[in-house]
Chains A and B, each alone.
Chain A
């Protein structure tokens, strides 16, 4: 299978969906490549730096039959559009009694680890999960990035596509043709029997690397990637933990009220899964600080392979 980068896979997803459906348009302050050449300036809109109006325009146009892709660029810029995300996009369908659909996709880069400091190293997907009205995807591989973004664009709801900065240049196999990954379906990235690691985005590959190392020590780790945070494929997560009896959740957002917390809660509040647990659940997350700039500090703030490994040892020795 051909190998392309995470970023190239995302670009392919947008181009293919724009080719497939003339209602798809894209709005942003800049674009990879030169999409205007193929799709024209009416459908590829260079915009002023106006996140509120972009976010709301995407929503309003979606309610009128257009299928906009709004690129916030970085998730941090979406905070400028808090009203449109929190009060409008996440509530509009429900509060109007479902009388219209709002097929808008919001794209943003997310995460730290590349020296961009506090404001541009955030992973706030749990804030958007909390709103209840947005679907949320968070891919970890080029193939998933393409397949999930294509599904997001075809979905008839507001969907936020979180695209991990550290994965941008990572390459991987991506099937030719119309490759789709359905929303709400987790994937077991590596099967194992002793411990389940549920990892998000960049930390899927880190957890897989740790699983390789631990395999040499005779520890069998299962790595599960939810891929979609809303809706969460809780059945696949619970099934894995029921098999292994041990859970480590790995993410680069701080632990408080995080996706990792939600996953831990979904595991322990299920009677059957709770009974299968043989150790307390562990979260491996960022330190509760704004991500600092200086490399040694940034590395200390974010989880690393050693933190993951330590957590696995911890859940293995607990009774």
Chain B
């Protein structure tokens, strides 16, 4: 399927928004406006957008500690996301979750997760629910290359293959499990090869090519909707920044040449170029699009900053359902 201008423009916008959201998150963390840890998604935007674009609102995703991009791509409101980072009552979790626990069940975003591999079993449960409902809904499970070394990955792949669950396992191979290179983590760096023993297709794609990610996802989602079971999709990408920061960004430990090489394959620039070449976008329009994104982010930050902090009297609220 070839994507036209009308389909690509919102994808380009979402990718720019994801990048700028996390660039702002870094600055806000340095400024002390937000707390805890920030795991920027910058550089990986083509994965979230390529995967989530073919999904319906009734489809569900689970996310990781590096989850802002997945939230935005699945349709979460950046004002409520930002308010959550600010720890305010208008945040998605009323300030109880923060960056690593944003969820928006109304749009099928079942939550970021601070535990590597922790979201995979939960995604299998969402897929089981969809299988029981029988309405063709699909679950996408995002995780990183590090999670492939976890038992939860293998247990989830096994049961999903066995029960033909309607799920797409999306491995964002950003080349590093936290701060350790993929080659030092797995005997074979071929993550898609893990699909075969679990009786599902394993597909490796250029994760910085949003068109390739989209096309592979369309096929995997269609297969899941037809009841034919899961797919493992390995998206090869790269995070431009550090694994995680707290008060200040940590020193870079990866080779400068490697970073430069991946930045040269910037997924946003590649999509923009694709559209420019076809006359679907002009440099002016691209500039205007970026300005609108920055204005939206400015508004989201103002919304978050104006939202009240939670009242300590609400500390125990939300523990248990009635």
Contact = CB atoms under 8 A, between A and B. Distances in A.
A93 interface: yes
Interface in A15-62: 25, 42-43, 45, 47-48, 50, 52-62
B132 A25 contact: yes
B56 interface: no
Contacts of A47: 159
A245 interface: no
Contacts of B133: 65
A48 B158 contact: yes
Given A57-B124, A83-B117, A63 B105 contact: yes
Contact of A96 (B101, B117, B121, B317): B101
Contacts of A52: 121, 151-152, 155
Interface string A61-103: 1111110100000000000000110011000111111111111
Nearest to B162: A48
A96 B125 CA distance: 17
B152 A56 contact: yes
Given A63-B110, A93-B319, A93-B321, A50 B128 contact: no
B120 A56 contact: yes
A99 B125 contact: no
Contacts of A147: none
Nearest to B130: A64
Interface in A151-165: 155-157
A54 B121 CA distance: 7
B174 interface: no
Interface in B171-187: none
A96 B111 contact: yes
Contacts of A94: 96, 318-319
Contacts of B21: none
Interface size class for chain B?
35 or more
Nearest to A22: B132
Contacts of A226: none
A97 B159 contact: no
A133 interface: yes
B201 interface: no
Contact of A65 (B94, B101, B129): B129
Given A56-B152, A57-B121, A97-B94, A50 B126 contact: no
A231 B21 CA distance: 41
7 contacts: A52-B152, A53-B155, A60-B123, A64-B60, A84-B122, A93-B318, A97-B92
Shortest beta-carbon contacts, A-B, top 6: A56-B121, A60-B125, A98-B318, A97-B93, A64-B129, A60-B122
Interface of A: 25, 42-43, 45, 47-48, 50, 52-66, 68, 83-84, 87-88, 92-103, 132-133, 135, 155-157
Given A45-B163, A52-B152, 16 more contacts: A47-B159, A53-B156, A56-B125, A59-B122, A60-B121, A60-B122, A60-B125, A60-B129, A83-B118, A87-B118, A96-B96, A96-B97, A96-B105, A97-B92, A97-B97, A100-B105
